[in-house]
Amino acid sequence: MNGLMGIAAGIAALTGMGAGIGIGIATGKAAEAVSRQPEADGKITKNFVLGIALAEATAIYGLIVAILIFTKI
Amino acid sequence: MSLQATSAVENTAVQSTTVKEVEVKTVQQGIAKEGKVAEHGAEKESLGAELTAKMEKITYESIKVEVPGFDVLNHHVKPFTIQFNESIFTMWFLTVIIIIGTILITRKFEKFPGKVQNFAETIVEGINNLAKSMIGHNWKPFAPYFGTILIFLAFCNTIGMLGIPEFHIGGFLFPGLRPPTKDINLPAALALMTILLVIGSQLKYKGIGGTVKSWFEPIPIMLPFKLMEYLIKPLSLCLRLFGNVFGAFVMMELITIVSRRLLLPPIFSLYFDIFDGLLQAFIFTFLSMLYIEEAIE
């Protein structure tokens, strides 16, 4: 049973994949936007940080679910 | 009803006595085991590890304070215990450090600033500019709160990189300095404070009518989502901070166990402790400001 729970926690931690793809796309677009319009640096950085914070949340939810599974709740 | 309640109390009392007996038994067994091991004179390292683990368990759970209270259900005075854990001690330590530091920095201000005053003014200016650009023209009452949160979280998230282990003073085992935000209760408290501030400022700046009106703002079908936001915002704030700091903490522990002799931990600590910790402190403040701006615009 413990082994199965470990596998379940590992599957829950796969949410990191989506967050990684999302943050990668956001970073690429932000770099593109800064190179197109260097004077809008501040605004772009603000939106970029907001975006990666929201994209990262999915990975964090995966981590929380993995912890919950592993502590048998 | 009262009979049932008293019987429940008796039951719990019986259970607690049995638990105590079991504990005594295990302690006796442990003593017997130690005697055996000492006789054989082997397995010193494992014994040491076992002992330290036992010490940790005992001292971390034994820091309890009994407070007189009143049991409402059973109508009698019954003391309840407040438990102090590791993160509370770290928070107290950090609070004392931050208060002393701010008093020392802001003590002698002059018209022509020196180095220390320049440093303090830079920090305050930065926080004010952030609040100004995020919240808008009503930034002034909110800036001190967010500055406090930012500085406190920055200290909390990066305290783990000092790597101070547990230490003994007079028989007590004091916990080491680990980030208190890896305990979910601190981020939860901060997120609750933020959402209360959001609701309060919304009621103050928009009024009750404006608040109710803003729930139906683009189209009336948005009402359940707008109401759900009051729950989802603090939940996501709390889980984001907790998950990031806890994940970084676990990663650092694993790296330390695997590659202590290769001098890898300091390199990874640059990312996991300093960069990630400061970024998460900033993001928490940033998102709180965004919610405030959304509420009062």
**Are B137 and B269 within 8 A, CB to CB?**
no
CA distance A28 to chain B (A): 19
Side-chain half-sphere CA neighbours of B175 within 13 A: 22
Q: Is the pLDDT of residue B284 over 90?
A: yes
Residues 184-243 of B with CB under 8 A from A: 236, 239-240, 242-243
Closest partner residue to B243 (CB to CB) among A42, A49, A63 is: A63
Closest partner residue to B236 (CB to CB) among A49, A57, A59 is: A57
3-state SS class at A72: coil
Rounded to 10 degrees, the C-alpha dihedral B37/B40/B46/B50 comes to: 10
Residues of B with CB below 8 A from A53's CB? 240, 283, 286-287
Which residue in B has a C-alpha nearest to residue A62's C-alpha? B243
Band (pLDDT 50/70/90 cuts) for residue B172 is low
**Is B251 touching A (CB cutoff 8 A)?**
no
B169: left (phi over 0), alpha (psi -120 to 50) or beta: beta
Q: Give the H or E element holding residue A41.
A: helix A41-70
Summary mean pLDDT of chain B: 78
Which residue in B has a C-alpha nearest to residue A46's C-alpha? B286
Q: What pLDDT digit, counting tens, does each position of B129-154 carry?
A: 999 988 888 899 999 999 999 999 99
Other beta carbons less than 10 A from residue B104's beta carbon? 10
Closest partner residue to B243 (CB to CB) among A46, A50, A60 is: A60
Q: What pLDDT digit, counting tens, does each position of B52-89 carry?
A: 564 454 444 446 666 666 666 677 777 777 777 778 88
Which residue in A has a C-alpha nearest to residue B130's C-alpha? A46
Alpha-carbon distance of B159 to B177, in angstroms, equals: 7
Average of per-residue pLDDT across A13-36:
93
Place of tokens 């806890």: B246
Residues of A with CB below 8 A from B287's CB? 50, 53
Angle CA B116–B117–B123, to nearest 5: 95
ipTM above 0.90, yes or no: no
The CATH number assigned to the domain with range A2-70 reads 1.20.20.10
Residues of B with CB below 8 A from A50's CB? 286-287, 290
Inter-chain contact A57–B290, Cβ cutoff 8 Å?
A: no
Inter-chain contact A49–B283, Cβ cutoff 8 Å?
A: yes
Other beta carbons less than 10 A from residue B174's beta carbon? 17
Alpha-carbon distance of A73 to B261, in angstroms, equals: 37
Report which of A45, A57, A68 is spatially closest to residue A18, judged by C-alpha positions. Answer: A57
Band (pLDDT 50/70/90 cuts) for residue B196 is very high
Inter-chain contact B247–A61, Cβ cutoff 8 Å?
A: no
